[in-house]
Amino acid sequence: MRGQITFSDGAGAVARYGNALGKHAKKRSMSNKRLVASAIALFLGIFLSYCSLFYLPAFASDSQILRLSSADKVSPKIDYDASRKDGWFTPYFDLLRMQRGYMSAGSKVEAMFVTSTPAQATFAVTRCKKLPIVEIFSCSPIDDSRVTVSDKDSGLVSFTIETSGFYHVTETIRSASGEYVDYNVIWRRK
């Protein structure tokens, strides 16, 4: 009989059809190509998530702290090359510290500072050459804006970003006599 389809729920029928399909059905296993493709997709996703940490805040929030620093420590560290790298994961944790970020035109960056004694403070905002993604890891400075404040023990310095791009923020605080100055600086975007 042509065109007739029959269904059977019997255990014997299921075993008979299962064996028949098993002989000719392709067994699918995790091949090396699929394993490599999955690993590449996973690492690409992690890499793009990390990169988005530097770009999304420029579009998502009104105010965000870029950097906290004091006389004893900086979060994030500026001088990674000069610092000790004791732990296995230290270089990877240092990558999560942000002292830089993408800023859109018209946004503002503020540095609020407090020092133990009146000192000379220089604040700088440096614009990097436009190389998407690469600018996160390596900044080729194009220009920078600097403000120097003398003989003050506290204050607020504000910068207005004229051109959209990737920016780094830094500060240098010294006393006139060369003695130790305790200070705290908070950089934030507005």
- Could you report the per-residue pLDDT of 16-34, keeping only the tens digit for each? 655 555 555 555 566 788 8
- Checking if the pLDDT of 14 tops 70, the result is no
| Domain assignment present for 116 | yes
Confidence label for 128 from pLDDT (cuts 50, 70 and 90): confident
Long-range contacts of 138-145 (CB under 8 A, 24+ apart): 139/100, 139/166, 139/168, 141/168
| Domain assignment present for 180 | yes
Under 8 Å between Cβ of 111 and 171: yes
Helix (H) / strand (E) element for 178: namely: none
| Domain assignment present for 46 | yes
Residue closest to 185 by CA, chosen among 113, 118, 121 = 113
Structural domains in the chain (count) = 1
- Checking if the pLDDT of 95 tops 60, the result is no
> Token pair of 126, please?
């440096």
- Checking if the pLDDT of 90 tops 80, the result is no
| Domain assignment present for 4 | no
The whole-model pTM stands at 0.61
| Domain assignment present for 36 | yes
Stated length of the chain: 190
At which residue do the structure tokens 């018209």 appear? 106
Residue closest to 115 by CA, chosen among 188, 187, 67, 185 = 185
The residues near 87 (Cβ < 8 Å, ≥ 6 apart) are 93
| Domain assignment present for 88 | yes
> For residues 91 and 80, what is the distance between their CA atoms, to the nearest angstrom?
9
User: Following DSSP, what letter does each residue of 51-88 receive, concatenated?
Assistant: HHHHHTHHHH-S-EEEEEEESS-EES-S-TTTS---SS
Full domain range(s) for residue 147: 30-189
| Domain assignment present for 17 | no
| Domain assignment present for 14 | no
